[in-house]
Chains A and B, each alone.
Chain A
Amino acid sequence: MRSIQVALFLASRSIFRGNFWIGAMTILMMILVYLNLLFAPSLLQGVISQMNSKLRDTLVGNITVESSTPGSQITDSTKLVEQIVTINGVEAVTPARTISGQLELGSERGTAEVSGIDTESFKDVFTVPQYMIEGSFLSAGDTDKIVLGAQIAGAGKAKLELYSDSLKNAHTGDKVKVSFANGAVKEYTVKGIFQSEFVQADLKTLINADEFSQVVPNSVNSASAINVKLKSDANQGNINDQISALRSDIKTRTWQERAGFVKSYTESIEVINKILRAVALFVGFLTIFIITYVDVVNKKRQIGIERAIGISPPTIILSYEFRALFYTLIGAILGAIGFILVVVPLEARYPFHFPLGNVYLDVNSNFMIRNAIILLLVSFASATLPAWRAVYGKIVDAIWGN
C-alpha cells in the first residue's frame, strides 16, 4: 500500500517535473498507436455492417420463408402472408414468384432471375426502389414493364463487376425480349434501372405479379419466397419460430443463415486487420520500452540513491509502470476524443467507397474501452522490463556509475 503511494508520488513528480517534450511526444505516439488500433477494425466493422444491411435491405429481409420441398412453391401464399403480417414485431411482408429467363437486347444476351413482385409491399420490405439510377420503379398498374438491376442491364457502365455478362447498354425505354424457362417469350419496356451496389441484388429483374401470372399461368396465390422485415426492436428468433409454426409445409431462414458468402469476404479482411493490430501494439510496446529504458539509463545514479536510502525495488519499478500507464491512458483518452470528434466525422464526410457503396467507421464504446485496456496492459509490461533490469543491479554500481 505505501509502496503504491510512494510509487505514485515518484511517478507524478517524474511526469510533471521531467522533460515536458518527452512526455508530450510519448503521449502523441500513444495517441497514434491507439488510433491505429481503432481505425482498421472500425473500417472492417463498417464493411461488415454495410454488407449485412445491404443483404437484408436488398435481397433477403430478416426472414425468408420458402416451401419445405426444394423447387416447390408456397401454396395459398396470400393467406400465409396475412398470417405473418399479424405477428407482433413484423413490419412488412412481401411474396415473390421467381423464374429464370434469358434477356435479349439487340445482339447482347444475359441470364437473370425474373421476379414477379407485389410492388407496394416490396417497397416496404426492400430499399431497392431507392437506388434507381435511371427511370423509375414499378407501380401497381404497370403492364409490359420491367425494371432491371444494373449488373444485368449493364447501362453503359463498363466498370460493373459483371458487365461482360450483362446486356451492356440497356437503358430506360429500351425493349428487352425475355425467354422464360417455361418456354414463354415476351417483350418488355425497361421502366428503370436500379443499382444498390450489392452485386447479388443488382442481378435481379422485376416485373409486376400480374405480368408474372400471364407468363406462368398458375402462379396466382403462390410464392417462391416470402420475405419478412421486422421492426428494429423485434425478437427475430422468436418470430422465426412463430412463422415456422404456422404451417408444416414451409421452412424459414434468418438473414444470418443466408450470410455465408458475406462471411468469406470478411474473413480475409480480418486476417489483415489482425496483422495491423499486432504492428500497432508492437509500436506501442516499443515506445514505452524505449522511453523507460532511456529514463532508467539516465537515472541510474538516482535509482541507486533511492535504493540506498531504502526505497524498495518494487516501489521503483511500480513508479515506472505508473508513469507508462499515465502516458498510455492520456494517449488513449485523447485518441478516443480525437477519433470520435475528428476521425469519424471526417471519414463520414469523405467516406471510403467500397464495392458495396460508402463505408462508414463503425465503433462502439465497448470496443474502444477494450482496446484501451489492451494498450494499457502492453505498456505496463513494456515499462516493467527495463525498470526491472535497472533496479536489480548492484546499488553501489548504480550510484558510482560503473
Chain B
Amino acid sequence: MLKAENLKKIYHMGDVVVPAVNDVYLEVEPGEIMCIMGKSGSGKSTLLHILGLIDSPTSGKVYFKNQDVSKFSESKRAKIRLAQMGFVFQEYALLPELTALENVYLPARMLGRWPSEYEERAVTLLESIGLIERMHHHPRELSGGQQQRVAIARAMVNKPEIIFADEPTANLDSTSGKQVMQALTWLNKQFGTTILFVSHDADDQKYANRVVHLYDGRLSESAGEEYNA
C-alpha cells in the first residue's frame, strides 16, 4: 500500500546540517495499524509528512499503491491527499470558522459529492464517534478530545485508504486519549482503513499491529530504552 525507499530529509540550520529522516525503508500493508515510536525530535513528524505527501524528501522514493508519487506535481498530490488519504494532526487542526459538521464534510465537498451525500456521511461519522449533539458547535466550543475526534471524522469522510495520525493523543488527558485511539482502531475494524500513527508514548503500542522505532531519523524494528524519555 505504502512504501518508502532510502528516504532522506535534511534541514539546514545555518551551517548545521540536520538529517531529520535518514535512510528510511518502510512498508505499510493494507489494513494494518502501524505505529512509529520515537522520542521527541527523532523525526516522526517529518517522516509522516513525507509519507502523507505533505512534504517532499531530500532524496529517496515514496510509492503509494505501487506508483512513485515522490515526483508528482503538487496538484496531483493534493488530489491523492483529498481522495485517498486522511490526516489527524497533533495540535487541534480544525478550521475555526466552520462548525464541527462543516469541518467534517469540507473534504467531501471538495471532492464534488452532492450535499445530500456529504451531509449524511458527515452526520453518520459524527454519530459513530459520539459527537452528533455537538455537530453545530464551533471548534472553540469543543474540548481537545472532542476536537480530535472531529478531526478523525474529517479524515474519514472521503473513505480514504490510509489515515496518518501525528501523535493524536499528545495534548489530551488519558481518558480522552483513549477515546481517540479507540475511534481510530474502530475505523480500522469497521472499514479496513489502514492506519499509520506516530507516538512517543510506549503505552500506545498496544493499539498497533506492528511497531517500528525511530532514533535520530533512523528506523529499527526493535525497541531501545531511549524512546520513553
Q: Report A's interface with B, CB cutoff 8 A.
A: 1-2, 5-6, 9, 13-14, 17-18, 302, 305-313, 315, 394-396, 399
Residue in contact with A13 in the complex, picked from B55, B75, B97, CB distance below 8 Å = B97
**Contact present for B110 and A310 (CB under 8 Å):** yes
Q: Which residues of A contact B154 (CB under 8 A)?
A: 309
20 A-B pairs with CB atoms under 8 Å apart are A1-B112, A2-B109, A5-B109, A6-B110, A9-B106, A306-B95, A309-B87, A309-B107, A310-B78, A310-B79, A310-B81, A310-B107, A311-B106, A312-B78, A313-B74, A313-B75, A315-B110, A396-B55, A399-B89, A399-B93
**Contact A6-B109, Cβ < 8 Å, known A305-B93, A310-B78:** yes
A14 to B95, CA, bound (A): 10
Chain B, 145-189, CB within 8 A of any chain A CB: 154-155
Set of chain B residues within 8 Å of A6, measured between Cβ atoms: 106, 109-110
B37 touches A (CB below 8 Å): no
In the complex, what residues of A have CB within 8 A of residue B75's CB?
312-313
CB of A308 within 8 A of CB of B87, answer yes
CA of A202 to CA of B110, assembled, Å: 72
Note all chain A residues with C-beta closer than 8 A to B87. 308-309
Which residues of the other chain, A, contact B110 by a CB distance below 8 angstroms?
Answer: 2, 6, 310-312, 315
Chain B contacts for A396, CB-based, 8 A = 49, 54-55
Number of A-B contacts (CB under 8 A): 70
In the complex, what distance in Å separates the CA atom of A18 from the CA atom of B96? Answer: 9
Chain B residues numbered 27-74 whose CB sits less than 8 Å from any CB in chain A = 49, 52, 54-55, 74
Closest to A308 in B: B54
Whose C-beta in chain B lies nearest to the C-beta of A16?
B97
Residues of B within 8 A of A312 (CB): 75, 78, 110
* A70: min CB distance to chain B, Å: 75
- Is the CB–CB distance between A302 and B95 below 8 Å? yes
* B93 pairs with A13, CB closer than 8 A: no
B102 at the interface (CB under 8 A from A): yes
Q: Contact check: which of A5, A309, A313 meets B82 at CB < 8 Å? A: A309
Residue B98 is within 8 A (CB to CB) of chain A in the complex: yes
What's the nearest-Cβ distance from chain A to residue B157, in Å? Answer: 10
Bound state CA distance, A311 and B87, in angstroms?
13
State in angstroms the CA–CA spacing of A18 and B95 once bound together. 12
Find chain B residues with CB under 8 A from A307 CB: 78
Closest to A15 in B: B97
Chain B positions within 8 Å of A9 at CB level: 102, 106, 109
